[in-house]
Amino acid sequence: MLNIGMNLTLESLESNNPDKYKCKIADIENNNLYIDYPISLTTNRTAFLVNDLHLNCIFSTEDNGTYLFRTKVIGKVKKNIPLIILHIPPVEEFKKVQRRQYVRVETAVDISLYLQNSKERFTTITEDISAGGCAVLLPKNIQMHPLETGDATIVLPMQNGDYQYINTPIKLIRNWEDAGKNIASIEFIDLDEKDTQSLFRFCFERQLELRKKGLLT
């Protein structure tokens, strides 16, 4: 399931430093995973992980499955470049991450939608978003029906000032009214690994921002 060149997201399990990192697999030998020095998603700088640091490791496969396993830093080595060594547990300990387990944050980002049934194309904003889907505000003149499909383009303003553009097929889960607003819940379908990681990163950064503002506990 793990392959050289695969992107990984690491979550620190240390309560006093609950950071997330992005990295790539440089090599795999026996039960050891060799990764390049990871980048902190909080500071966007290289992170130096100490030995025996316990982490969650999250990765996505080519069939768009997302998995998690628990690991720890067991050492460092220099091959062509400096690498960090992580322990790989038995495959039986890998856990599939269900879409409902994705972190969902309340935030407004721009999203363009195209509906295949009605051929409607419009731009709106999200109410919340996760790596598995989002809730969007529907204009008054737009109707979506359960299981209706289409395409979406999402613009993610990242903490470092960059913008990530996510293009994905979608499926409507349900819609409802709340305080006079027409809201639709949509699922992202067939996201590739890069886009999944971008959404994970965006949601984590936005969580940190909301916590700093005291809007999230």
pLDDT in tens, 12-70: 877 556 678 899 999 999 889 999 999 987 777 898 899 998 898 988 887 767 888 99
CB 91 within 8 A of CB 59: no
Alpha helix (H) ranges present in the chain? 193-212
- 30-45: per-residue pLDDT in tens? 889 999 999 987 777 8
Let me know how long the chain is: 217
CB 49 within 8 A of CB 38: yes
How open is the CA angle 196-198-200, to the nearest 5 degrees?
70
